[in-house]
Amino acid sequence: MTMEDKFAGSLLGLAIGDALGMPFEGMRAQAIRQDHGLVSKFLPARGLAAGQYTDDTKMMLCIAESILERGRVDPEDVAERFVEWFDSGDLRGIGGSCLEGILNLKRGIPWRESGRRGKWAAGNGTAMRIAAMGLVDCYDMERLREHCSATSIITHNNPEAVAGATAVAYAIARLVKGEVETSTLLLETAAFLGPSGVARNLGQAQDLLSANIPIEEALAVLGTSGYVVESVASALYCFSKTPGDFVTTVSSAVMGGDDTDTTAAIAGAISGGQWRLEHAPALRRRGEGHRETSGVGTSHPQFGQLPWERPL
């Protein structure tokens, strides 16, 4: 399995988890189980077609495309791309901290100072979009730490938000290099972060994993809201519990309820790096009838059709 396979799998995995969780955002776990049973199909909702992704993937693409075009991590360019995305009007559920940060950028505030501050900035809007950093910096953990902080504070100038993004990028980096056992991933990630709420909840997740607690029960303890301390631990728990099964990992993340698209996007980014591309959705052309400008789509043998705007 090549590094290219792993990189593509991680980015595709993020978008698939995002799209799968999109229709259920804000629903409680019990309501999802009662109304839908096991979540295993893409559904339309919120003005989006079945399989369309949300702001989680949109913001990830801003970072990934910036890295590809600039040949390096350039926070100023990332900030400009966030503004361009905002000005396009195709926001698909932008969060409060992301909105505030981008509006500050539009007012001329530099990217180092534009991010929202205070406890309400401890959201998962950084963790949801950070996967590309875990890929490009996978051979330099200190550079990864610096880049996660720099691209996070554009919208979330909060230490927990930065820690959550760093945790996701670190986990992806270690997994794509094959350097860590899934049984120790939670603790090693917590240790890399140092003292933080994110690290403490990752430690609790390890305790639940060691006790073999079912995912449904564990996520109820860890939390699945938009608070980054909760969503990062829950996403990593879903992966750690089912490391060889992408479908179960992202479905379980959705079944936890609350911020379903983001929890599943994070879980999908982590799990996706374990794919072989021949087992991942294959990009192909779609016919007419979809709103996306390029008509590029994918299909997944279990989830169904995904109408992307562009290949990932």
Each residue's pLDDT tens digit, 238-287:
999 999 899 999 999 999 999 999 999 999 999 998 765 445 443 322 22
Q: Which pLDDT band holds residue 2 (cuts at 50, 70, 90)? A: confident
Is residue 84 one of the residues assigned to a domain? yes
Tell me how crowded residue 83 is: count the other CB atoms within 10 A of its CB: 17
Average pLDDT over residues 47-54: 94
Q: How many domains does the chain have?
A: 1
> Could you tell me if residue 253 is inside a domain?
yes
Q: What are phi and psi of 163, to 5 degrees?
A: -65, -40
Copy the structure tokens of residue 209: 């994993």
Does 312 map to a domain?
Answer: no
Whether residue 246 lies inside any domain: the answer is yes
Percent over 70 (pLDDT), the chain: 88
Does a structural domain hold residue 146? Answer: yes
* Section 117-142 average pLDDT: 97
Computed on alpha carbons and rounded to an integer, the radius of gyration of the chain in Å comes to 18
- Identify the pLDDT of residue 305: 53
Distance CA 25, CA 259 (A): 5
In this structure, what are the phi and psi dihedrals at residue 48, rounded to the nearest 5 degrees? -110, 150
Domain, as residue range, for 133: 3-306
CATH for 48: 1.10.4080.10
* Residue 34: pLDDT band with limits 50, 70, 90: very high
- Is it the case that residue 290 has pLDDT exceeding 90? no
> How far apart (Å, rounded) are the C-alpha atoms in residues 244 and 131?
19
- Looking at the domain assignment, is residue 289 inside a domain? yes
Does residue 298 register a pLDDT over 80? no
Distance in angstroms (rounded) separating the CA atoms of residues 40 and 274: 20
List Cα–Cα distances, 141 to 62, 90, 138, 189, 312, in angstroms: 22, 34, 7, 12, 24
At position 163, the amino acid (one-letter code) is A
For 306, the enclosing helix (H) or strand (E) is: strand 304-306
Residue 311 belongs to some domain of the structure: no
Question: pLDDT by residue (tens digit) across 4-18?
Answer: 888 999 999 999 999
**Residue 122 domain flag:** yes
